Amino acid sequence: MERPARGRAKKTGLPAGALMHTGERKSGDVRIDLMEYNVASLHERQLSGLDACLSFRHRETITWLNVDGLHDAELMGKIGSCFSLHPLVLEDVLSTDQRPKYEDYDEYLYIVVRMLRYDADVMKAKAEQVSIILSQNYVLTFQEGFAGDVFEPVRTRLREDKGRLRKMGADYLAYSLLDTIVDNYFIVLDQIGERIELLENELVTNPTRKTLRMIHTLRGDALFLRRAVWPLREVINSFTRGDSPFITDATRLYLKDVYDHTIHAIDTLETYREILSGMLDIYLSSMSNRLNEVMKVLTIIATIFMPLTFLAGVYGMNFKHMPELAWQWSYPALWLIMIAIAGTMLIIFRRKKWI
């Protein structure tokens, strides 16, 4: 289980705006990707630090600054002052256990989302927080970067000038990033769906204790996703309906599309949760079914052999005066009686549909 309160608990007692990184990645290089583009041109650079305050803020091009790695507090402070970010925004960027949220700070919009990326190598989803800051002509994105880069397709589309990305503003870039993030949810969802499908077969053919543990794990995964996806609905809704001048009407239509995808993801999740909870019912009832079967076997065996063993015991007694013992045919007769008793029992059990 992820412990969602851990990061926050560490920060107790610190003043608001104190820059303390609560994420998992603690070392390594910070990588800054800078892309400046308009319809006509595209410049791409990779920075290892931020020496001078960038001058692109009032240019004609659109600037996208992507920061991979949040553990260098000094660098983050520099970026904050360059783009005059509110201390609370910087604090939230560094506290990597934020709930998805949207805030309008007049000069820029601040969006926090959780990015999920399915790592095919280890067959597991990785999650990390992505902060997006959108203004008139720039977009800043912050991530820890350990879960890999889901933004690569966007970069490729920018480079190859595919689609309408280069033709539109910073808001459309922010939309494209959100869209990519939400699209990745479906890959994780589809993986869960595939595992549920496998489990359903297993449940019908041969449910074991491992099946139960799988159901439990999948429920945990669904819960985990839920915490990432549910708040996103409200976030994208506020983003779309907000009256910020940075978002054009054309982009709003596209954002509405991302909103629909989010609802679709939520719907799918809720469906999975219902299916999983139905599977648990099936599992429990198949357990009690098995118990019934085991008990039936025991009862059949006991009910057949107990009377027979009793009869054998009776004729093993050592009384002097037991006339049957001396009779010529009593031994084979007893065998017949015992076979008759066993046969009758079997017929009764068949009638009761136990066998």
* Helical residues (DSSP H) of the chain, grouped into ranges: 6-10, 73-82, 87-94, 152-160, 170-205, 209-241, 249-314, 323-326, 330-351
Shortest Å distance, C-beta 55 to its own copies? 29
Token couple for 307? 């009377």
What 3-state class would DSSP assign to 112?
strand
Report if residue 106 touches its own copies, rule: CB under 8 A. no
Token couple for 38? 């308009």
Among 41, 45, 121, 310, which residue interacts with its own copies (rule: CB under 8 A)?
Answer: 310
Between 15 and 55, whose beta carbon lies closer to its own copies?
A: 15
Q: Which of residues 200-219 bind its own copies (CB under 8 A)?
A: 200, 204, 206, 209, 212-213, 216, 219
Report if residue 351 touches its own copies, rule: CB under 8 A. no
* Residue 180 · residue 150 · CB < 8 Å: yes
Distance of alpha carbon 68 from the chain centroid: 23
Shortest Å distance, C-beta 51 to its own copies? 28
Stretch that binds its own copies, among 46-54, 77-85, 141-149, 276-284 (CB under 8 A): 276-284
Report if residue 305 touches its own copies, rule: CB under 8 A. yes
Among 98, 129, 135, 137, which residue interacts with its own copies (rule: CB under 8 A)?
Answer: 98
Between 59 and 167, whose beta carbon lies closer to its own copies?
A: 167
Instruction: Kindly give, in sequence order, each residue whose CB lies less than 8 Å from that of residue 225, ignoring residues fewer than 6 positions away.
Output: 116, 185, 188, 189, 192, 269
Residues touching its own copies: how many (CB under 8 A)?
121
Q: CA–CA separation, 79 vs 50, rounded Å?
A: 8
Between 180 and 244, whose beta carbon lies closer to its own copies?
A: 180
Q: Which of residues 23-62 bind its own copies (CB under 8 A)?
A: none
Report if residue 88 touches its own copies, rule: CB under 8 A. yes
Report if residue 299 touches its own copies, rule: CB under 8 A. yes
* Helical residues (DSSP H) of 20-151, grouped into ranges: 73-82, 87-94
Q: CA–CA separation, 61 vs 104, rounded Å?
A: 23
Report if residue 242 touches its own copies, rule: CB under 8 A. no
Report if residue 278 touches its own copies, rule: CB under 8 A. yes
Report if residue 336 touches its own copies, rule: CB under 8 A. no
Q: Which of residues 127-186 bind its own copies (CB under 8 A)?
A: 153, 157, 162-165, 175-176, 179-180, 183-184, 186
Instruction: Kindly give, in sequence order, each residue whose CB lies less than 8 Å from that of residue 257, ignoring residues fewer than 6 positions away.
Output: 179
